Every structure is written in C-alpha cells, then in structure tokens.
Amino acid sequence: MSSLPIVSIIRRETFSSAHRLHSPFLSDEENKKVYGKCNNPNGHGHNYVVLVTVKGPVDPQTGMVMNITDLKKYIKTAILEPLDHKNLDNDVPYFKTMASTTENVAIYVWDQLQRIMEKPQLLHEVKILETEKNHVVYRGGNTYSRKKPDSSCHRSHVSHEVSSDSD
C-alpha cells in the first residue's frame, strides 16, 4: 500500500465585528491599564481576516483533502453567521464571561469548527488577522489547565499555542 500525499487547503474569509477589551476578572482600573484605548466603554471594531487551514491526505478517488464547498459551509456556520456584523461581547454568549481578545476569538473559531466538521481531525490551523500588523494563530491542543481566578490572581493563565505578531 502506497502512502497518500498530505496537502493543506487554506480558505480566506472576512468578517466585521465590534468589541471592547474588558476582563471580568480585572477591576475597571486594571482593565484600563491592561487594554488601554481598547477598553473604551463604547467599544471599537475590526475588519477581521480569517484563514482556516485543513490538512490531510489527498483522496485518490476525489483528488481532494476536503470538498471546498463543505469547508465554505463550515466557515459560514461557525464563523460568519455568529460573528459577522455582531458585537462580540453582547451578541456571542461565549464572550459574556471572557475577554474578546483575538486569541480568544481564534480559540472560539477552532472550537466551533471542530464541533461541526464531519472530519474535525483535518482542521490544522486558524489564523486571524485583526489588523495588518496583528495576527493570531491557533492550532488546538497543548493546553494548560485553566484556573478560575481568585482574589490573589487577577488574570487567568491560559496558553493555547497562540502566537501574536504585534508592533
């Protein structure tokens, strides 16, 4: 039996959302210090670019890793419908108790895609471009246990293999 070539498919989509960077685990003063102008009570918006990468063997019968029509449908359901032209903090239940950072948006997108994909093992990477200069990449797995903050710990310490490119 010969091995099948492994190929990546990357689908690019865009969505626009508003949010306010504000952590329920920090005081108002700490939020202002940590998030600066992005903690404005009126919020602000982004035109996000999301790149979803699936990776796997090329099926010898279809010549595809995944039917691109299926990938488009997954992205519409998991990303565009719940996030496009929405206020992340007010309209997306996931962000009611979590800061709507781009890192957390990437984790949300990954989790939503994993939940609905017929073959979730093909999901390789979610990359979100918040701005031309700020990009976040999430590849799932390798998590630290999430501790609920107490009065001595103001920030939850979470790593989800997220990388961020900033100034």
List, by residue number, the catalytic residues: 38, 85, 130
Contact 129, 49 (CB under 8 A): yes
The residue whose two tokens read 């998991």 is 78
Contact 14, 49 (CB under 8 A): yes
What separation, in Å, do the N-terminal and C-terminal C-alpha atoms of the chain show? 49
Quick one: which of 65, 32, 50 has its CA closest to 113? 50
Integer Cα distance of 70 and 75 in angstroms: 9
Torsion region of 47: left, alpha or beta (phi above 0 gives left; psi -120 to 50 gives alpha): beta
